[in-house]
Every structure is written in structure tokens, then in C-alpha cells.
Structure 1
Amino acid sequence: MKRNIILAVFLLIFIVGWTASFAAYKHRQESKTVEDAARLLPTKVKEIRRSTSQKELQKWIKDASESGEKISIAGMQHSQGGQTYFPDSIMLDMKTYNRVLNFQPDKKRITVQSGATWNDIQRYIHGNGLAVQVMQSQNIFTVGGSISVNVHGRDIRYGSLIDTVESLRLLKADGTIINVSRKQNHELFELVNGGYGLFGVILDVTLKLAQDEWYENEVIAMDYSEYTDYFKRKVKHDPNIRMHMARLSIAPDPSFFKEMYVTNYRLLQNQKSTKNEPLRNDGNVVLPKVLLGTSRYSSWGKELLWKTQKNYFLKQNGKVETRNNVMRSDSEFMEYDSQNRTEILQEYFVPVDEFSSYVDDLKAVLTKEDLNVLNITIRYVDQDQQAMMTYAKKDMFALVWLINQEKSKKGTADTKRVVRKLINITLDHGGSYYLPYYPFASQSQLERAYPRTQEFFALKRKYDPSEMFMNYFYKEYGDDL
């Protein structure tokens, strides 16, 4: 009998130990190399952890605080400069932390965990005739990641994403959880929106919503020199134009950096319910994928893409669609998998009145440099005085560039050399550049574009004195300040 009891005790100890080991293993992977969308910074992290539990996330942060571990925070990882990981760090993959916590359609408010995507939100609120106020052109991104880079989109009646954030809850480096809003912990509100995951883990967010509406497309071709005046006279002060975008030709002369087309999304006069209108999914992407593919490798391909694209969208004049569907742009055709090459994004912001002379200066550089630009999309963003690292010090046009380059050290160095020239031109015109992408900019360019840079990094160390939350962006620009 005594022997059986001893065996039972040993068996119990074995089961408990095995269970604990298995539970720990569930949340870990062996040391793994991770990459973001650009695939230029492959990095070995210590482990990747995923959770659906606030208590578990809180425990991990407390444990890391005691052990001195570094924490990086990831969503869809479309930031392209290692903002979502760090060597030998514990990477928190937040995509499984994605529940809707509260929805108040009468107040146009929704509270979601930070791993929820814009697509998750659109599907949840669509049946109530509501829509998102501000998001990227695609709906695949997580809310937490979008807040961390303070995104903007096509809507011109709201500013950047910070304008639509009512409040959030933040898991700090010491393991405590606080409310952050314009009234509570206001300084952190300015820091976390556009804070690149350096101040804590965003747990959940309350967002302000908009009414879903019917829009009529208005597509117009013009010369780039006409754009500023057209926008100021015909778009900005017309309250019925709710959303706006434009594209600038990167095809060879005579259209290079000269031809444009703009698309306005005008409020339809006779509104009806949007509740029964299906949410659009990606359509046929074969033709745009082929056209984009040819443009990567030839000038005639760029010309063919531009003419086809421009003519297609001009034929969309008068098309009617809902706000939710305008904000569900196709992105599948842009997927690109090459062993030797990759595609990066750059984004430059320039004051509205500087646009024409700015384009002239860009063209002067690009006619002498070999930079494989595939697309430039233009959006408008209001002045933002809330986020500490604001990219919109004035009312700005945002030029989003898609660039194809070699993945080699030489390819990256060549791109860096040209990009620094483009950033200098942007700064000379009173503009700035966007931070989620590969860190081509110099320290002086960063501080010129973002005058509160040193204050931002000093406050990072105030709120996270052990520098637990780490990524490549901070290591590149803030670690030694």
C-alpha cells in the first residue's frame, strides 16, 4: 500500500511537471528568424508568444520586468524597418488578441482588443449602417498596429487616426494597466498614438465610428500644376466630398511626374440604407497583377500600367459605392514574392501650397537616378497637433511611394542614397516623412522632420526606464540620445 502511494506521488509530480512544460511550450517557439513585409531585416528572436488572455499578457510583462528580457510587439508586420521585432527579444504576436468587447451603435462607439483588424470591425458594424472613420486604404491591419503608427487614409473630413481614438488601455513596463485618453494620462495619449510600441502593450481601444454612406465617384485627369488650386477650390471646402485620392504618373515622358488623375467620393444626394449592401471582397486580380509585374522590369510596362490604370478609373466616373466598400480596396494584386528583390514603401508629406514646386524638384532628382518607382498615390491629411511625433505639422499632401529594389546590401545602399536626397527635398519644402518604413533617414533628417524627437525618446526612458520595449527604430535613432 505504501509503495502504491509513493508511485502515485511520483506519477502526480511527473504529470504536473509535464503539464507545466507543455503549457509553457504552447506559448513559445524555438529561437526563430522573423521578417516584416520588406524582408530586409531578417532577425532571430528568442521566442514568439501569442495569447487571448489579459492576465497572461500582464504576467509575461511582469516576468520580463524582473528578468530583464526585451519585449517587441507585432501585428500584421507591414511596418518595414523592424519596428515589430528586435534581436533575442520576446515577440508578442497580438493577432490572436482580437475580440470585440463593447459596441454601442447608438453612440457610434466600439471597443476592440488591439489585435482586431479593420476587416473584423467592418464586418461587426456593417449591419448597423456604420463605418470606420479613419484607416489605411486596405483593411487587413490590426487596430493596435495602426494606432502605433498613427495612420491616415482617404477620408478628408477627419485627420489622422488619433482623431478617432476616444481612449485605450495600456499595459505598462511595470505590469500595471492604465486608461489613456485626452483626459487621463494625456501625455501618454500623445506618445502611444504614433509611438511604435515603445511605451507598452495596447490592450484595447475605444473608437469613434461614422455613418456608412453612399458615394458617387468623380474621376478627373489633370496636369500636376493644376492640382493644388483644384484641391483648394473644388475639394477641400466642398462638404459633400467626403473622401479623396490621386495618382501621379511614374511612366516615361511625356507623362512622367506630369499627368495625374484624382478621385473624389462625393456624397450621393439620394441616400438609402447601406445595411443590405454586401461588403466587397477582392475582385479579379489577374490583370492588375500582370500589369504591375511588367512595370517592375520595363519602361514600356510602366507606360502600359499607367495608361490602363488611368483609363480604367476614368471609366469609373459616376460609379456608386458605400463608404465601407470604398475602404476595402483590393491589395492581393500587390503581393510580391521574389528571392532577390523586394518592394518597399516610402511616404513623404508636403504642405499643400508647395506641391507643384516640390514635384518639380523630385523630378529633377529622379531623372538622374536609377530608382525603380512603381506607383505614387496622393492623399490629403489635416494638420495634427495631438501626436508628439506628428507628421502633419500643416495641412499636407501625402505621397505614398512603392519602390522595387534588390534585397542585397548594394541594393539597399543604392536606395538609401536616393531616398536621403528625396527626404532632403521634402524637408526643404517644409514637409516630413513617415516613420514606419526602413530607416534610410539620417539622425539629423529625423530630428528636422520631427522637432520633438529628443523629447519623445527622453519620455520613452521615463515611462520605460529599463528599456524593456524595444525595436529597431528605437535602436537606430533613440538608444544613444
Structure 2
Amino acid sequence: MKRFFFIIPYAILFGLSLQAFNFKLDHPIAEDISRLMPVKMKAIKAEDSEGAIKKVIKEAVKNGDSISIAGMQHSQGGQTLYPNGILLDMKHYDKILDLDVKEKHITVQSGATWADLQEYINPYGLALKVSQSQNIFTIGGSLSVNVHGRDIRHHALIETVESFRLLNAKGQILTVSREENSELFSSVIGGYGLFGVILDVTLQLTDDELYKIKTKSLNYDEYTSYFKRDVLQNDAVKMHLARISVAPGSYLDEMYVTDYYRANDQAQLSNYNTLNRETIVAVPKFFLGLSRYNDWGKKRFWETQETYMANIDGNLVSRNNVMRSDSAFMDYSNPSKTEVLQEYFVPIDQFTDYIDDLRKTLSHEKDFNLLNITIRYVEHNDESLMSYAKDDMFALVMLINQGTDNESKENTGRVIRNMINVTLDHNGSYYLPYYGYPTKTQLFEAYPRAEEFFQLKKKYDPDNRFMNLFYKEYHP
């Protein structure tokens, strides 16, 4: 139970991952993790070698087929699907190719997961600079959505990428970095698989460290000043996470924060650097389940989280263990419901006013089942053309339980578009990998370089060999 509250936004979806590919050999149907858009594919190709992947591309060109690229299928906006196309499943292309311990660089095939990397580098005293809180995702998929994590000194994943190799629609393999094919560097990372197949990646690593956990409760209108004063300006704080209540009585008001301070005695790291696995399942599963069904359950869940936070204050944990999680307890299977994510980015100085306006927007939405909001920090970065971090931002990751029927989708879409409008009114943006509820107008307002991005797609893939439903929905 020790770590389960940190990982809810991403971990909740892992329970459905075995359903992410619902394949039938004669008529393959593919679904992403949300199960909201099953798509009939022409074929699914799961390859484990560079030569086999090149062959798939060559045959697709010959036959005029579209290609979509998939990792763990946790993007929910059709980024891995296209009707009657070839789905290239990269999960078996997963070898660790090289580790330079001295320079702290690793080269890995794009189908490897963050868990694979952690298990490989942990014995060398090395750790990841940036990844999601959960480590089940593939490296290529994480690059394609330009993930961020809870490290407040290293922000978007693009910052940690030295180079990668890209297989394009012509069957050519290009080396891409800030110095070589730099235009592709800024468009492929955060480019949702639209420019080619990421084959392997060289990433920067850092040292594993021992952290001391400190927790604190506060009100939402105290958060910005607290973060600036006690977190951002304190070099000892390496990671940060916050959560704001969605329970009645404390709704979008009460918060707690979790800060990870570099421990004074790093010699103790060896006592904490064994990679942990979650073992307690029933208790967190029970309380999370309660929160799905009524306000009473949401209150109990929030109270349990507060108690848990007080109990872990002062605990020690390694960096690698902060950046990993198992999630069997998050298994959620319901034939008529699913759980989707939304993520909104708002400038840190606008957080208080933003929460006030968001609360007004959601106050009358009785059928909108918001389960959780986790908050992280992302520093301004515009290396990626489709960067979400237009300023120094707080990122609010929202977990939503909804029905899979058309009426439920329409209702959720309406509420989400309203929330995005509030976010845009506060000079914010939203994360693209989720279901296509936002309008095209909202996308172009949130991503002012989107036109340039779509033009580069036409330049580098004029035949639209690499396609997905996200591109179909939003390109001009």
C-alpha cells in the first residue's frame, strides 16, 4: 500500500492493457486502452528485427497501405489506429543495445519498456532522468507523446534524448539529433508516429539517489506560493507531486503535496535500491472502487489518502523506485464503462484563479464522474513543435470514469470541451494523447505551431504512409 496513491492517474489504465489488442486472426480488430474506438485493421504485424520492420514498410508502400505504430496502446485518441491499415506492434523490438556507464548514456530499441531499462541500469547505480510514474510504457511510445514526470529539474522527455534512428516511408534509416536532421528531431518527438518508425534511441541517464519523503496538507490557494518558495527554490527537492480533492466537502479545495528531498546520508542507498514491486492489492483496490460509485466513496478514498500521506512522511526511497510502479490492484473491467485521462497545463501563477473557474464549470455536472486529479510541474520547453509547456506549468492529470455508449461519450465530450475552454482562457494547453473530444479550433489555440507541424508531415510523408485517427481528425 506504501506507494499506490502516487500512481493512480496512469496506473488505473493498466488493468485493461490485456484488452488493448482484441485480435481475431481473420478480421483483426484493434482497440486502444480506452476501448472507445474499435477499428478494423487489414493486418497486425508484430516484428522483432530491423529487417522485418523494413519489410513491413516496403510491402505497405507496394500495396498502398497505411501504417499505424503501436506500443502499449495507452494513447486514447486514435494515435495507434487507422481503418484498414497495417498496425505495426513494436513491443517485441525491445533489446538493450548499449550502456555507457561513464557517460551515463543508454541505447535501446524502441519497443523496450521503462521497466526493462530500470532493471538493466539499476545494478550500475544509474537511474532515468524522465519517465512517467508508471514504467510499463515503451520508449518509442513515450517519445511519440513526449512524456513528462515528477522530476522538477528534468522536465519533458525530449530534454533527455541524445539521438534516435528513424525508418521513414521510403525505407531509409535516418539518424536524428539536434545537429543532424534537426527538423525531424523537433517533430518526431511528440509527433504521434506520423513521420516514421523510431527504431532505437540514445537517452541520457543520471545517478540513482536516496530521497526522503516529506508530505504536507494545504489549501489550493496556498499551493503556488508554497511551490515557488519551498520546492522550486530549494535545490534539495528533486521531485514533487500534489493531489487536489475531488470529494464533496473538500472539492477542488484541499490538497496534499509530496516532496522528495535528497537524503543527507547517501551511503544508505544500498539499503533501499532493490527495485520494489507492489504486493498489497485488496485494500487500495477496495477504496478506489468505492470512489467510482458515489460521493460517500470519494470521501472515504480522500480520507484514506490523507491518512496514508501522514504515515509515509519521513520515509526513504530510491529514485528508481519513485519512478516505477506495478498496478495489478488497479485492474478495472466493466463491460459498459471505461476510464479515460485528460491532462491540462496551466501557468503556475494562474493556478488559483484557474481552479476557481474550473470548480464553477464542474459544479453542475452531476453525471461527470471525476475520480482523481494529480498535479506535477513542467518547465517551459519549446523544443518539440507540439510542446504543451508554453510556460512554466502545473500539469493536472484527471482520471474520469465514463460509459462507453454514445450518450456517455457525448456528455463527457461536452464537459471536457468546457474544461479546455477554461484552460485556454488561462493561457494553458492540454495533452494530445487522449480521446478526440477537443475541437480542431481548440487544438490550434493550444498548440500555436500545429500548422508548422502538419506542414512538416506533408513534407516528410507526402503519401501519408504513416496514418492514424488523430491526424485524420485534426490536420487542416
- TM-score strictly above 0.5: yes
- Correspondence for 2:21: none
Higher relative contact order, chain-length normalized (CA < 8 Å, sep 6+): 2
Cα distance in structure 1, aligned partners of 2:414 and 2:147: 26
Per-residue CA deviation, residues 366-406 of structure 1 (Å, 9 max, x unaligned), is 11112100000000001011000000000000000000001
Cα distance in structure 2, aligned partners of 1:112 and 1:273: 30
- Correspondence for 2:404: 407
Gaps of 5+ in 1: 1-27
Q: How does 1:4-403 map to 2 (within 5 A)?
A: 29-253=25-249, 255-272=250-267, 274=269, 277-370=273-366, 371-403=368-400
Residue 420 (structure 1) aligned with residue 403 (structure 2): no
Cα distance in structure 1, aligned partners of 2:377 and 2:310: 20
Partner SS state of residue 280, structure 1 = coil
Structure 1 position 149, deviation (Å): 0.2
Q: Which amino acid aligns with 2:175?
A: N
Q: Which amino acid aligns with 1:444?
A: T
- Correspondence for 2:18: none
Structure 1 position 63, deviation (Å): 2.0
Cα distance in structure 1, aligned partners of 2:279 and 2:133: 16
Q: Which amino acid aligns with 1:461?
A: K
Cα distance in structure 1, aligned partners of 2:425 and 2:341: 21
Partner SS state of residue 246, structure 1 = strand
Residue 439 (structure 1) aligned with residue 441 (structure 2): no
Give the TM-score normalised by the residue count of structure 1.
Answer: 0.93
Partner SS state of residue 307, structure 1 = helix
Cα distance in structure 2, aligned partners of 1:113 and 1:469: 20
Q: Is the 8 A contact 1:343 1:405 kept in 2?
A: yes
Cα distance in structure 2, aligned partners of 1:150 and 1:71: 21
Structure 1 position 238, deviation (Å): 0.8
Is the deviation greater in 275-284 or in 427-436?
A: 275-284
Per-residue CA deviation, residues 125-181 of structure 1 (Å, 9 max, x unaligned), is 000000000000100000000000000001010120000011000000110000000
Cα distance in structure 2, aligned partners of 1:93 and 1:31: 16
Q: Is the 8 A contact 1:71 1:470 kept in 2?
A: yes
Q: Is the 8 A contact 1:251 1:303 kept in 2?
A: yes
Q: Which has the larger radius of gyration?
A: 1
Per-residue CA deviation, residues 25-45 of structure 1 (Å, 9 max, x unaligned), is xxx943311111110001111
Per-residue CA deviation, residues 83-104 of structure 1 (Å, 9 max, x unaligned), is 1111111101000000001111
Aligned residues: 452
Cα distance in structure 1, aligned partners of 2:369 and 2:392: 29
Per-residue CA deviation, residues 311-343 of structure 1 (Å, 9 max, x unaligned), is 101211000010000111343322211000010
Q: Is the 8 A contact 1:118 1:140 kept in 2?
A: yes
- Correspondence for 1:22: none
- Correspondence for 2:460: 463
Give the aligned CA root-mean-square deviation in angstroms.
1.2
- Correspondence for 2:445: 448
Q: Identical aligned pairs, as a percentage?
A: 55
Per-residue CA deviation, residues 44-101 of structure 1 (Å, 9 max, x unaligned), is 1111111111011112112212221110000000001111111111101000000001
Gaps of 5+ in 2: 1-23
Q: Which amino acid aligns with 2:470?
A: F
- Correspondence for 2:3: none
Cα distance in structure 1, aligned partners of 2:326 and 2:122: 18
Q: Which amino acid aligns with 2:34?
A: A
Residues 75 and 250 (structure 1), Cα distance of their counterparts in 2 relative to 1, 3 Å cut = same
Cα distance in structure 1, aligned partners of 2:338 and 2:262: 39
Structure 1 position 272, deviation (Å): 1.8
Give the TM-score normalised by the residue count of structure 2.
Answer: 0.93
Partner SS state of residue 272, structure 1 = helix
Cα distance in structure 2, aligned partners of 1:73 and 1:291: 36
Cα distance in structure 1, aligned partners of 2:132 and 2:100: 23
Cα distance in structure 2, aligned partners of 1:95 and 1:275: 32
Q: Is the 8 A contact 1:49 1:93 kept in 2?
A: yes
Cα distance in structure 2, aligned partners of 1:235 and 1:225: 16
Partner SS state of residue 267, structure 2 = coil
Partner SS state of residue 91, structure 2 = helix
Per-residue CA deviation, residues 266-304 of structure 1 (Å, 9 max, x unaligned), is 000111264563100122021111111111111000000
Q: Is the 8 A contact 1:352 1:395 kept in 2?
A: yes
